[in-house]
Amino acid sequence: MRVSTADFYRQSIVSLQRQQSLALQTQNQLSSGSKLQTAADDPTGAAHGLSLDQTRVANQRYTENTKALGERLGLEENALSGITETLNRVRERALQGNGGTLGDSDRASIAADLRQSLDSLLDYANAADGEGRYLFAGSNDASAPFSLSGGGTQFSGDDVIRQVQIGPNRAVQSSDGGAEVFLRQTSGNGTFSVAATGANTGTATIATAKVFDAAAWDGGSYNLSFAGGNYSVQDGGGNVVASGAYTAGQSIRFKGADLTVTGAPADGDSFSIGPSQQQDLFQTVRDLITLFETPTAANPAARAKVQTGVLDRLGALETAQSKVIDVRARLGARLVAAEDAQNQLSSQLVKIDEALSGIRDIDYAEAASRLTQQLTGLQAAQQSFAKIQGLSLFNYLR
């Protein structure tokens, strides 16, 4: 087969250019650390890498969300822990002051202590997340949600709770509504409340008020009255539902309710028993303050009425404490979910980076060895081309 001089030159140059291109590609891979300089180097790998890039970006977004969520939930947990401790303190002081042996000055001191606890509760209710957003304000979290003025509680937040996306198909509640935690509490024991009615002149007081049969309680209003050494319980229509001889400390049961009365009631003394009503936590503490500020040292009948009032608020405190415990339990579950998501995202990120490294990162030892081979081959091709192009018949004849 005859090879023309033009064909020889053309094929040699094409071969040299191809080897130069391969060597340059390997050199670029070594300098950049990536074996994919263009999508044409590995179309399938490049497409897979782009898909992994998108997954990595989403992973980072979820990781940031999860970190912020964990910090916010941690701050709420601290606030709820403080609320629990404060309520324990209020309950302890209320029990101490309701024993019947303290004088008015001591009770006033307890009232002052309860005012400090009320301020602490308000501070916890207005806790912020460190970025100017209030934890218990719902979506209206740019300003403190709670304030106390006059005889009531003002709430400027709402019930809209943000959900934080911590995975493609997973979102977690970022906080708890302040209305649910602080306002939607109940009076009494959560089922019914008791109160001294009228101008009671005896020393009878309600010592305990509980439910012994929830199914029997009908949510009605009742009146417990005393006359001639006997007691009588009447419903709203004046019908007697329970009666008998009064004995101090004896249990009086009716319609699923169980009351223990101590002291000596005067004829005509009475107590009302009615379904619990919604009462915010701040108002319960304010009621206790008012009760302990009431002078009772010179008036045993007044002290008996105050003791009944304190007992009723103690029941409300116990109900509030149980509710806060429930909120903390749900919060704990969300904290576990956030931590679990954080671990999963961290593990996923490692796998994504490993996969991307396998697709894009160069093996330096292999690439260096390949470049050496390519440069050696290029040098040999250049030398052989230089020798062959000088060959001709005239040179041979000479």
The model's pLDDT over 246-303, given as tens digits with 9 standing for 90+, comes to 999 999 999 999 999 999 999 999 999 999 999 999 999 999 999 999 988 778 899 9
How far is Cα of residue 248 from the mean position of the Cα atoms in its chain? 48
Separation in Å, CA 363 to CA 35, 303, 350: 8, 88, 19
Confidence of residue 197 (pLDDT cuts 50, 70, 90): confident
Looking at the chain, the whole-number percentage of residues with pLDDT higher than 90 is 60
Note the residue count of the chain. Answer: 398
The alpha helices in 201-299, defined as continuous H runs, are: 281-293
Q: What is the pLDDT of residue 91?
A: 95
Model confidence at 204, pLDDT cuts 50, 70, 90, reads: very high
pTM: 0.78
For the ranges 175-179, 304-308, 338-342, 370-374, the lowest mean pLDDT is seen at: 370-374
Q: Mean pLDDT across the stretch 353-357?
A: 66
- pLDDT given for residue 297 in this prediction: 78
The two three-digit tokens of residue 107, written as one number: 């009770």
- Residue 390 half-sphere exposure toward CB, CA atoms < 13 A: 5
Q: Which residue has the tokens 């018949």?
A: 393
pLDDT at residue 98, as a whole number: 86
Q: For residues 146 and 154, is the Cβ–Cβ distance under 8 A?
A: yes
Q: What's the distance, CA 2 to chain centroid?
A: 86
CB 217 within 8 A of CB 257: yes
- Separation between Cα atoms, residue 198 and residue 189, nearest integer Å: 22
**Alpha-carbon gap, residue 307 to 47, rounded angstroms:** 77
Residues with Cβ within 8 Å of 353's Cβ and at least 6 positions away in sequence, in order, are 56
Tokens of 188: 């009494």
Beta pairing partners, 242: 233
Ramachandran sector of residue 67 (left: φ over 0; alpha: ψ -120 to 50; beta: rest): alpha
Mean pLDDT of 62-74: 91
* 101-145 confidence digits (pLDDT tens): 788 899 999 999 999 999 999 999 999 988 889 999 999 999 999
pLDDT of residue 268: 93
What pLDDT is attached to residue 42? Answer: 55
pLDDT for res 280: 94
In this prediction, residue 307 has a pLDDT band, given cuts at 50, 70 and 90, of very high
Q: How many CA atoms lie within 13 A of 316 on its CB side?
A: 31
* Residue 17 clears pLDDT 90, i.e. is over it: no
Per-residue pLDDT reduced to its tens digit, 25-39: 666 665 665 655 554
Mean pLDDT over the full length of the chain: 85
The yes-or-no verdict on residue 82 having pLDDT over 60 is: yes
Identify which of 187, 186, 125, 132 has the alpha carbon closest to the alpha carbon of residue 157: 125
**pLDDT at 394 > cutoff 60:** no
Highest mean predicted confidence (pLDDT) among 10-24, 150-164, 317-331, 368-382 = 317-331
Tell me: pLDDT of 309 over 80: yes
**149 pLDDT higher than 70:** yes
What mean pLDDT do residues 146-162 have? 90
**Could you tell me which residue, 261 or 385, shows the higher pLDDT?**
261
H helices of 126-221, in order, are: 178
pLDDT at 15: 65
Position 397 confidence tier, pLDDT thresholds 50, 70, 90: low
- State the pLDDT at residue 366: 62
Please list, residue by residue across 256-277, b when 16 or more beta carbons sit within 10 angstroms of its beta carbon and e when fewer do.
bbebebbbebeeebbbbbbebe
The DSSP secondary-structure symbol of 263 reads S
How far is 119 from 343, CA to CA, in rounded Å?
Answer: 39
pLDDT greater than 90 at residue 389? no
Pairing of strands 257-262, 251-254: antiparallel
Query: Residue 59: which H helix or E strand, with range?
Result: helix 43-97
In whole angstroms, give the CA distance from residue 127 to residue 139: 15
